[in-house]
């Protein structure tokens, strides 16, 4: 994407004064480009809710991309861990200034500044998110599921908690279900991306689960498909599905006009697990995905379910 505001690159390749509309448009384009399922679901929200959701995702994506780029530079010796920490601290400082009501002439921060006028998003949530993505810089294996849960909470569940303030809810129990949906989605990401993560020298599945199914780290890193691996994958998929099932209990607790979009996002993400199964659990050489047609095909049933609930 090529945007330029006050010296930054723009989509049009020319400088322009940053307006609030342009700031939200910038956030929308980030969402549209990087998160197809998320973007599709967001389009079913009322217009007044769409822009704040795009602002949340844009911050998430920008910080995540910063860390990914920093990881590569760290590996190549082009940047130090201290410099990476400084980059993240800069975002945290700007975010804290935004919460104090100070205007930052950056499209994402301008969008956040406007969003906070209407929606009470606790500052510790985006700060937790930044701490979560930072865990990828010096990656450490997760020995237990409890350890993985903390990671999933920080990089995904806090997004659900932030967006819940925009969706609106009638029962605070909806927040626990939002946490569960974040866990489910991040577990789905992990299962889908196993092959890519191995190429980066990483295993995100808990070591205790590999031991439970007698599947070694060496076999994992060699992308070995055997019966033990299949049982391991079936276990992980059922764990993710259990979180989706519990999370969907919270959808009727949301404001009625928000339910459809959340259900679209939940069901289409959960269906990635079906794609993994259809691929014979081969996450080493095949990336599971849902086509646009497959996503659209789920809409009538979801519409009926949410409209009568």
pLDDT band, very low/low/confident/very high, at 275 (cuts 50, 70, 90): very high
* Distance separating alpha carbons of residues 244 and 156, to the nearest angstrom: 14
pLDDT tens readout for residues 15-55: 457 899 999 999 999 988 887 777 878 888 888 999 999 99
Q: CA-CA distance, 21 to 144, in Å (whole number)?
A: 45
Beta carbons of 24 and 51 less than 8 angstroms apart: yes
What mean pLDDT is predicted for residues 234-260?
95
Tell me how far the alpha carbon of residue 198 is from its chain's centroid.
20
Global pTM value: 0.86
Please give the Cα distance from 88 to 66 (Å, whole number).
8
Domains of the chain: 1-136 (1.10.600.10), 139-309 (1.10.600.10)
Closest listed residue to residue 178, CA positions, set 307, 186, 271: 186
**Residue among 128, 65, 66, 121 at smallest CA distance from 98:** 121
Give the Å distances, CA to CA, from 174 to 155, 160, 229, 240, 254: 19, 10, 35, 18, 7
Question: Which DSSP symbol is given to 230?
Answer: H
Segment 154-168 mean pLDDT: 95
Q: Return the pLDDT at 293.
A: 62
State the Cα–Cα distance between residues 3 and 111, nearest whole angstrom: 15
The yes-or-no verdict on residue 290 having pLDDT over 80 is no
Q: What is the mean pLDDT of the chain?
A: 87
How high is the pLDDT of residue 171?
A: 94
Give the model's confidence band at 4: pLDDT under 50 very low, under 70 low, under 90 confident, else very high. Answer: very low
* Distance (Å, whole) CA 233 – CA 139: 22
Confidence (pLDDT) at 7: 36
- Buried residues in 50-72 as b, exposed as e (16+ CB within 10 A): bbbbbbbbbbbbbbbebbeebbe
Which band of pLDDT confidence, cut at 50, 70 and 90, is reported for residue 14?
A: very low
Three-class DSSP category at 169: strand
Tokens of 251: 């959808």
pLDDT given at position 306: 63
CB 138 within 8 A of CB 110: no
CA distances from 80 to 42, 93, 138, 272 (A): 38, 20, 12, 37
pLDDT reading at 72 higher than 80: no
């Amino acid at each position: 994407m090529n945007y330029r505001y006050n010296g930054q690159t723009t989509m049009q390749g020319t400088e322009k004064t940053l307006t609030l509309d342009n700031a939200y448009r910038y956030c929308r384009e980030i969402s549209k480009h990087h998160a197809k399922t998320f973007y599709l679901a967001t389009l079913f929200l009322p217009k007044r809710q769409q822009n704040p959701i795009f602002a949340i995702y844009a911050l998430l994506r920008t910080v995540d991309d910063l860390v990914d780029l920093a990881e590569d530079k760290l590996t190549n010796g082009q940047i130090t861990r201290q410099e990476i920490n400084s980059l993240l601290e800069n975002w945290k400082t700007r975010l804290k200034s935004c919460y104090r009501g100070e205007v930052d002439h950056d499209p994402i921060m301008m969008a956040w500044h406007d969003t906070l006028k209407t929606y009470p998003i606790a500052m510790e949530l985006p700060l937790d998110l930044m701490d979560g993505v930072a865990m990828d810089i010096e990656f450490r294996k997760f020995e237990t599921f409890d350890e993985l849960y903390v990671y999933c909470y920080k990089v995904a569940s806090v997004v659900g908690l932030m967006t819940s303030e925009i969706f609106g809810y009638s029962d605070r129990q909806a927040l626990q279900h939002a946490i569960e949906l974040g866990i489910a989605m991040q577990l789905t990401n992990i299962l889908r991306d196993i092959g890519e993560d191995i190429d980066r020298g990483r295993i995100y599945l808990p070591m205790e689960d590999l031991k439970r199914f007698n599947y070694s780290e060496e076999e994992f890193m060699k992308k070995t498909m055997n019966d033990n691996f299949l049982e391991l994958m079936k276990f992980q998929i059922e764990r993710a599905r259990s979180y989706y099932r519990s999370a969907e209990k919270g959808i009727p607790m949301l404001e009625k006009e928000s339910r459809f979009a959340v259900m679209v996002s939940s069901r289409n993400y959960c269906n990635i697990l079906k794609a993994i199964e259809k691929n014979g659990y081969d996450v080493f050489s095949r990336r599971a995905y849902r086509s646009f047609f497959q996503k659209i095909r789920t809409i009538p049933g979801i519409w009926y379910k949410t409209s009568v609930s």
